[in-house]
Chain A
């Protein structure tokens, strides 16, 4: 059987789904734990529960993606942490607004028949 024919059973990760420890998220992001801790302190990414012991932190896929985005932005645009935090926040706002505009445009089209 070739890869093309292979049918893979998937695991859905929502809030109850699979999560990553600090160590795992560092390994996947190829970065140091200090960097992730700083991002958490700046509110750029958030563990599912803010527990005092960092070893107990768990992150979801969205946090992993955000970490990887932060790493790319830092590498490519030479952003420092406060700049990174603000850029990601503004990018989130832009994305939310784009989604809202799309949703409203869709509603308008539906209402106009």
Chain B
């Protein structure tokens, strides 16, 4: 078992006052709150901070922890509690209302008789209580990242998530659950799929919770999404832009031919009706034209450009810049 240095977790010294500890905890709780932070492992850090505070805020537990810290830590960083160790301030009941005991570390459980073994925050979930309580299972929220093509056409995906359920001994235990889910065509970023009854099981015959999956879209190298519309930048040759042309354009659903109007500048947008996200009200695809130049011109082509320059000498492409 690894030793948990709660002082280091909160970034305070051993001699920190209760006020210092509270201040450090509040600051770190705000910083690492999983609903606030986008940092990697924010959720784990938040749990560590909560666990550290749970111990250090209580003078009795803190004194016990200080003792353990002094005598239990080994040179190799591992930890063994002194023989016959038993916490006097354990978590049997009371004083434990806010933090979620299921989330705390093995170290915490070993030292302070944590929540996983005693069930629901100290409440007795075994025997008669379990049978008399009817409780709806927890809803589970998960996210699922799809490639644009998958979201567009629909797909089948494996989704794994954790549910908490009461085992035969009345203990709340996490269980990994995996489902294959048929994702319907036309799902967009932020939309939800609801799987009825696939969340945590109910207690005492209560209804199971639901699983909600929020769709995320992985960035695509060519297409970007705006609402139901799909945007794509399509390069065209200067002569295609000048004279007009029929060009092949990719859409998420496959290639289509598009007429580029005569005299199109870079940035001109063409709307392909109904080629955006499928659905009751399908979106459009917006093609943004971009005039592209060959990397090199032949001497003949350069001559033609020189002729063009002479013919079009009155054209000032920078007139908007007043130069």
Cβ B198 vs Cβ A7 within 8 A: no
Count residues of chain B with CB under 8 A from any CB of chain A.
Answer: 45
Interchain pairs with CB closer than 8 A, number: 98
Cβ A65 vs Cβ B182 within 8 A: no
Cβ B35 vs Cβ A73 within 8 A: yes
Q: Which residues of A contact B29 (CB under 8 A)?
A: 76-77
Given A3-B178, A7-B180, A27-B136, the answer on whether A98 and B224 have CB atoms closer than 8 Å is no
Chain B residues packing against A (C-beta within 8 Å): 26, 29-30, 33-36, 38, 46, 50, 98, 136, 139, 141, 156, 177-184, 187, 190-196, 198, 209, 212-214, 219-222, 224, 226, 231, 233, 290
Given A77-B30, A111-B290, the answer on whether A10 and B181 have CB atoms closer than 8 Å is yes
Cβ A13 vs Cβ B233 within 8 A: no
Is there a chain B Cβ closer than 8 Å to A75's Cβ? yes
Cβ B182 vs Cβ A8 within 8 A: yes
Cβ A11 vs Cβ B224 within 8 A: no
Is there a chain B Cβ closer than 8 Å to A12's Cβ? yes
The CA-CA distance from A76 to B50 in the complex, in Å, is 9
Q: Which residues of B contact A64 (CB under 8 A)?
A: 139, 212
Cβ A6 vs Cβ B184 within 8 A: no
Q: Top 7 A-B pairs ranked by shortest CB distance?
A: A61-B192, A10-B193, A7-B180, A4-B178, A13-B192, A106-B219, A11-B194
Is there a chain B Cβ closer than 8 Å to A53's Cβ? no
Q: Which residues of A contact B290 (CB under 8 A)?
A: 111
Given A10-B184, A77-B30, the answer on whether A61 and B194 have CB atoms closer than 8 Å is yes
